Each structure stands twice: as structure tokens, then as C-alpha cells.
Structure 1
Amino acid sequence: MVAMTKRMKVFQIVFNDPSKTFYCSGDKVAGKIVVEVTEITRVSAMRVLGVGCAKVDYAKGKQRCREEIDYLKYEEVVQLDDHPADTDGSVILRPGNKYEYTFGFELPQQGQLVSSYEGKFGSVQYYVKALMERASHPAVECKKNFDVEEPLDVNTPDLLSPASGMKEKKVTCMFIPDGQVSLNAKIDRRGFCEGEEIFIDAKFENTCSRIVVPKAAIVAKQIYQANGHTKVFRQKLSSVRGNHIISGMCDAWLGKTIRVPKIKPSILGCGIIRVEYALMIYMHIPGSEKLILELPLVIGTVPYSGLSSRSNSMSSQESTASTSWVSLRMPSSCPPSYCDITRDVRLDQPHTPLLDDYDGGDSPIFMNSPQFFPPLPPYSEVEEEYNGNSRMLPVY
């Protein structure tokens, strides 16, 4: 960004390494300020500022909520090399010449910065600003942004630990009990990076009269804090779905995969902005609220260096005879499976708010409709791509 005048032909900031995509804590930000003028100009001083700050700004009713935290504050006065200066430190710039002011400064050490971020109600931005002060004239400035990405290693013991959980829900129809649905899910670790596959082991049980659909999605939660208020914005980033489960049946996911899309790493160290992720495993229940289980995720920058998630998932499958983490009523002797396929629908659409999570393809079907209910319209199913393995078992 340049605030130009008729005296300025060129006034811009150029980094020494323009191909560098991002900086980390401790890196040196260096470059030059290039100036060309159209008429003789006396420059009193050239100031260089390095700025980094987190800002939150949103409306809550009639109140405007604003908050700001500084992470980088650097300032210096730079001089022209091999160019004479007056006793007051000012220099005269003449047309036809190119002048270059060099600058350089180090970013604070690890733990003192937060990665760059641009969100719906706030941002974390870093930039270099050049301020040219001129005698008897307003100052002229230009600005150039740069990105900071703090390393976040997913190979820590906490992020390598598995995450699991169980949820169940009693279903009613016109205040009459209509059975229940339950799910039990596990992932082998919590830390992932962009492009990695998350392998899901899960069991779903349906004893209500309706056909339910198990699904999984990666969701992002942006948390903004300002003036004592908190604003949360949720997005669904990608999702997969399983087979329809009819009344009295169970379904099992053994290593069903969902890929981590291209997303920003988690932001956990900022006092006013947090970006968190979760794997949401849920069951769509026609005519009722979803049954939802969320397993926490941390999206990092340093990829997993151990055995592949698939190897770990396959190992877990080999030990499913015990399946101590599964509390569903699975029969000891399973009948032959009549459904050996799992749907895997990948959404390549823009981020979709969860409030718009439309389940139009899941018709509100009852396996045994109460007599006082009118006949339901015929069910039509859209053909989708099938991938993976699943087992559907009767409930005893």
C-alpha cells in the first residue's frame, strides 16, 4: 500500500527474499525501501516500523466490540548508504536517481508470536511500514504485509494420544417413546496436518422405528473475544457418510477415512482469537435432532512422523475381538454381512456453515409407522460413490 504524491514516482518496500512464503519466530525480516522522485525532495527522516497485532471487531446489538493485542513492535530510522546528509540528518533526493534504504530486524523468539490469520470477525496481521518524513510537507507512507506461521508439531505425547467417546439418545414420536440410537467412536490420535487421512473406528446402533444415517465431518470453530463478550463461528469443512441403518440394526466403521482439507493450523496461544477443530461424528435422525459426538483435533504444521494412521487403524481392527471401548450390544456370533460397502462422499464445495447442514437426501422414513401417522411418500435414493468397508448387524 502506497500513499503517493506528485513528487513520488516510486515508493515501495521490497523484501530480500520475495519467494519466501512465511516467516517463523527468530527469523530475520530484511529488505529495502526503493524511492524515485519526480522533483527535488528533501527527506527529513525515513522510519521503518515492524508491526504485528491481533484484532477483533464485531457488532453485538448496538455495541461495537473491539479488542487488540500487539505481538511485534519494531521501529528504526534508516539512512542512505554513500549519500551525503546535512547536519540535521536530512538528505536531498533528485529526479532520475533510484534511492534504496536497507532495513532488517529479527522476529521475537518462539512462544511470543501467533500465526497469521484472517477470519470472519478478526485477524492476526504482520507488516512492514515505511514512513518518509519531509520538511514542510505531510509524511508519505507505504506498507507491505508478510505472513508468520509458527511451527506446531503434532508428534507430542498429548496429540499422539487417542480420542474416543460415546453418545446415546432416546427418540420419541408425539411424546411416545420410540427406542433410541447410540454411537461409539474412536480415532488413534488428535494431531493431524493438512492432507492427512483420519481413520475412524465407530459403532452405530438403531433401535428406533426410523432409518438413520451415520455421518462424520471436520468442523472449525472460530472464537473471538472482545469487551467481555465472546462470539463463536462454526464451519463444516468436509464430510463423509455411511450406510442407512434400518430399525433394529447396527453398523460398524472400521478405519473409515476423512481427509484433512487445506486449512490454517490451529491457533491456541492468542488471548482474543482461537481457531479450534473437531471431528464431528453424528447420526441424522429424521424428525429429531441429530445425535452428535465431537472428538477434538489439533491441526499442526509438522506432520506425523510415526507409523501411518492406516497401520495403526489396521492394528486396532485386529484387536477388535476385545473391543473394550465398545459398549454396544453386538452379537457374539455375527451373521453374514449383507452390506459390505460404505459411502464416502467428498465435498469440494466452499466452507458451509453448520446451520446450513442440509440433510435433504435423508428422507424421514419410519420402519414401523404408528397407525395414526398418514402414509409417507415413496423414498428415492441418489446414487453415490461407494468406498471402504462396513458391517451391518442385527440388534439382539
Structure 2
Amino acid sequence: MVAMAKRMKIFEIVFNDPTKTFYCSGDKVAGKILVEVLEMTRVTAMKVLGVGCAKVEYAKGKQRCREEIDYLKYEDVVHLDDHPADTDGSVILRPGNKYEYSFGFELPQQGQLVSSYKGKFGYVQYFVKAIMERPSHPVLECKRHFEVEEPLDVNTPDLLSPTGGMKEKKVTCMFIPDGQVSLNAKIDRRGFCEGEEICIDAKFENTCSRIVVPKAAIIAKQIYQANGRTKVFRQKLSSVRGNHIISGMCDAWQSKSIRVPKIKPSILGCDIIRVEYALMIYMHIPGSDKLVLELPLVIGTVPYNGFGSRTNSMSSQDGSVGTSSASWVSLRMPSSAPPSYCDIRRDNSLEQPLTPLLDDYDGGDSPIFMNASQFQFPPLPTYSEVDEDYNNCGARMLPVC
């Protein structure tokens, strides 16, 4: 940033490592203040400030809500090296020369800072400010921001433990009972990082007369607090959907994945700004409110290392998702591979115009379609079955009850 004034050609701050994208607690912020003047100028003092603060501001009716917290306060007076100064400490800067004031300070230790953030009603920001004092002239200032990103490791026992839940909803039509819908879902951990896949195991049941659609979405929730009031802003970041479920049917997801988009990590340590995430699993019901289950997520900066949660997720398969049986989650694969369907010639009778089956009111989602014409599926490929005689004991297969 260059502050131009009548007698200034250059007045800016540069960091020693311009390629550094962010700083962490305990890091050293170092750089130089570059000055070049157009006319001879006397500088009585050059101050450097390191500032970090969280600020919330929004209107609530006629009231203006405002709150601020300081996380970094550093101040120092810097001097020119090998440059003569008067008895009062002032220096004379001459045109044609470039002057450099060096500075450096350490950020507070872990637990005392909050990651940089900019939201709808507040922000957390850090910057270095240079203040030039001159006799009989206004004070000149220049500023340069820097990013802070506090490490958040998702490989902790709490964030590696599975989580899940169950929800159900009775559906009515003109105050007449119309069955119910229910969902049962779980994920194997709560902590994720940008770019990782969240695998969802879920079961959906529909006993109402309507066609419902299961969906999942990653939700960001920004919470701002000021003057004893709270303001919440919710945003849907990414979503996936399943197949429609007609009346009297159910459906299951086995490790259905949704990718964590490029988002800021969770902010949990600030008293006035919190950034939380959740996986929202829900069922779209035409003519009724959605059935929603929210599972909390923590978005970190240190990715999952592949250890720690395997035991939890394996042991959880012995139980259930919510209160239902886990048999729909852990399917047993057959001992031999099924016949291949790759050689089946595609039936051209399927190439028919598609007609909408259900209007889906969620913005950004594509509608559901069904095939309106009647058709016959092609026959399955032929294969043979061989009865095996174990130890020649005359054992025979019994029907499964």
C-alpha cells in the first residue's frame, strides 16, 4: 500500500517473505517500511503497530449493534540504520534517496489468536501500520494486512468418533393423516478438511402417499454476537441427492459421498464470531416442510491421516445407525462374481422423451424425471449353477426362512 502525500513519493510496508500466505501463532512478522521523498522532509518519529482484532457490526431495528475484541497489540518506534539523527531523535530525509526502516515482532502463542475471517456482519483481521510523524505537518499512515490461520487438527479422538441420528415426521393432507417419512443416517467422523469426501450411510422410509426425495448438503452457519444480541446467517455450500422414493418404499445410501468444498476452517475460539458447519441430511416432501437431520462438522487445517477412526467405524457396524438394524449398511458380497451385463445390446425403445415426475423446489437442483413409455427389459445373460457335494456326505441346500 502506498500513501501518496505532497512530499512523499513512496511510503509503504513490505514483508521480508512476500510469498508467505499466512502466519500462525508464535511466528515472526518482519519487514521494512520503504520511504522516498520528493522534498527534504524532517521526520520526528516512525512508529510501527501490529494490530489484530475481531469486529461485529450490524443493525437490529433502530439499534446499531457493535462489538470488538483485540487479539494483537504491538507498538514500537523504529530507526534508520547508519543514518545521523539530531539531538531530539529526528532525521532529515532527502530527495533521490530510498530509506528503509526495519521492524519485526512475534505473534502471541497458540490459543491467543483467531484465524482471519471476513463475513457478512463481521471480520477478524490483522495488519501492520506505519505512522510517520513530522513537525507542523499531518501524520502520515500506511497499512498492510496479513493472514493468520491457526492450525486445527481433525485427528483428535472427539473429531474421529462417528456421529449419527434418526428423524421421522408425520405427514398430513388437509388435517388428515397421510402416513410418515423417516430417515436414519450416520457418518464415520466429524472432522474433515477441504477436498475430503464425507461418506454417508443412511436409510430412508416413505409410508405417505407422496413421492419424496432424499438429499444431503454441507451447511455453513455464521454466528455474530454484539450488545447481547445474536445474528445467524446460514448458507448451503454443496449438495447431493438420491433417487426418488415412491409411497410404501424405502431406500438406502451406502457410503454416498459429498466433497468438502474450498471453505474457511471452523472458527470456534472467538467470543463474538463463530463459524460452524453441519452436514444436513433431509427429505424433500412436496406440499410439506422438509424432514431434516443435521450432523455437526468441524472443518480443520490438518488433514485426516488415516489412523484412529478405523476401529470406531468398524465397531459401529456391529451396532446400528440410530435404532435400526445395520444389515442394510453392511452388505455381504457373493463368493463368486455375478455374470457380466456389458455385452447386452442397448434397447432403443428406452430412447423416449422424458416427462417430469415431480417438481423440486430447491434452487439449483435439477428436476426428477421418469420414463413415460412402456418397455420390456432385455433378458438376463444365461449362466449355469453347479451343486457342490461337500465331503460326499450328501449335504443339501436348505431354504433361507
Q: TM-score range by the shorter chain?
A: 0.7 to 0.9
Distance verdict in 2 for CA 1:211–1:362, change over 3 Å: farther
TM alignment of 1:165-176, pairs within 5 A = 165-176=165-176
Q: CA RMSD in A?
A: 2.3
Q: Give the Cα–Cα distance (whole angstroms) in 1 for the partners of residues 22 and 321 of structure 2.
A: 45
Q: Post-superposition shift, 1:6?
A: 1.5
1:269–1:243 distance in 2 versus 1, CA, 3 Å: same
How far apart in 2 are the matches of 1:158 and 1:313? 11
User: 1:167-222 CA distances to partner (integer Å, 9 max, x unpaired)?
Assistant: 00000001000000000000000000000000000000000000000000000000
Question: 1:10–1:254: structure 2 CA closer, same or farther, 3 Å change rule?
Answer: same
SS in 2 for 1:275: strand
Q: Deviations over 1:116-155 (max 9, x none)?
A: 0000000000000000000110010100000000000001
* Paired positions, count: 340
Contact 1:188 1:312 survives alignment (8 Å): no
Structure 1 residue 326, shift from structure 2 partner: 4.4
Closer/same/farther in 2, CA of residues 329 and 261 from structure 1, 3 Å limit: closer
Residue 363 of structure 2 corresponds to 358
> Does residue 327 of structure 1 match 2:354?
no
Following superposition, the deviation at residue 62 of structure 1 comes to 1.0
Q: C-alpha separation between the residues in 2 aligned to 1:212 and 1:37?
A: 71
Q: AA paired with 1:89?
A: G
Give the structure with higher Rg (CA). 2
Q: Is the 8 A contact 2:29 2:107 kept in 1?
A: yes
Distance 2:78 2:61 in 1: 46
Q: Which runs of 5+ in 2 are unaligned?
A: 332-360, 372-401
Q: How does 1:262-277 map to 2 (within 5 A)?
A: 262-277=262-277
Q: How far apart, CA to CA, are the structure 2 residues paired with 1:191 and 1:22?
A: 22
Query: Which runs of structure 2 are paired with 1:29-40 in the superposition (5 Å)?
Result: 29-40=29-40
Aligned to 1:49: 49
Does 2:160 match 1:152?
A: no
Structure 2 partner of 1:350: none
The superposition leaves residues 9-57 of structure 1 with CA deviations (integer Å, 9 ceiling, x where unpaired) of: 0000000000000000000000000000000000000000000000001
1:114 match: secondary structure: coil
Q: 1:134 to 1:80 in 2, by over 3 A?
A: same
CA distance in 1: counterparts of 2:222 and 2:155, whole angstroms: 24
Contact kept? 1:255, 1:314, Cα under 8 Å: no
What residue number does 2:393 align with?
none
Tell me whether 1:255 sits opposite 2:255 in the alignment: yes
Q: Deviations over 1:334-369 (max 9, x none)?
A: 9xxxxxxxxxxxxxxxxxxxxx94387557xxxxxx
Aligned position for 2:132: 132
Distance (Å, rounded) in 1 between the aligned partners of 2:245 and 2:98? 73
- 1:19-34 equivalences in 2 (<5 Å): 19-34=19-34
CA 1:31–1:249 in 2, change beyond 3 Å: closer, same or farther?
Answer: same
Q: Which AA in structure 1 matches 2:246? A: I
1:113 corresponding residue in structure 2: 113
Distance across 2 between alignment mates of 1:361 and 1:238:
14
- Structure 1 segments (4+ residues) deviating >6 Å: 311-314, 328-331
d(CA) in 1 for partners of 2:286, 2:84: 80
Distance 2:273 2:320 in 1: 39
Whole-angstrom CA distance in 2 between matches of 1:45 and 1:212 = 70
SS in structure 1 of the partner of residue 244 of structure 2: coil
Name the amino acid aligned to 2:7: R
Greater relative contact order (Cα < 8 A, sep 6+): 1
Following superposition of structure 1 onto structure 2, how do residues 59-138 of structure 1 map, counting pairs within 5 Å?
Answer: 59-138=59-138
Identical pairs, percent? 81
Match of 2:159, SS state, is: helix
- The one-letter amino acid of 1:217's match is A
2:214/2:241 contact within 8 Å kept? yes
Q: Give yes or no for contact 2:47–2:76 (8 Å, CA) kept in 1.
A: yes
Deviation at 1:4, TM superposition (A): 1.9
Deviations 1:263-289 (A, max 9, x none): 000000000000000000000000000
Q: What's the CA shift for 1:3?
A: 3.4
After superposition, what is the alpha-carbon deviation per residue over 1:64-91, rounded to whole angstroms, capped at 9, x for unaligned?
1110000000000000000000000000
Answer yes or no: is the 8 Å Cα contact 1:126–1:146 preserved in 2: yes
Partner secondary structure for residue 159 of structure 1 = helix
**CA contact 1:13–1:144 (8 Å) conserved in 2:** yes
Q: Is the 8 A contact 2:165 2:321 kept in 1?
A: no
Cα 1:173–1:50 shift into 2, 3 Å: same
One-letter amino acid matched to 1:323: S
**Runs (5+) with no aligned partner, structure 1:** 335-355, 364-378, 382-396
The TM-score with structure 1 as length reference comes to: 0.82
Contact 2:53 2:68 in 1 (8 A): yes
Q: Quick check: 2:161–2:312 contact (8 Å CA) kept in 1? A: no
Q: Specify the code of the residue in structure 2 equivalent to 1:19.
A: T
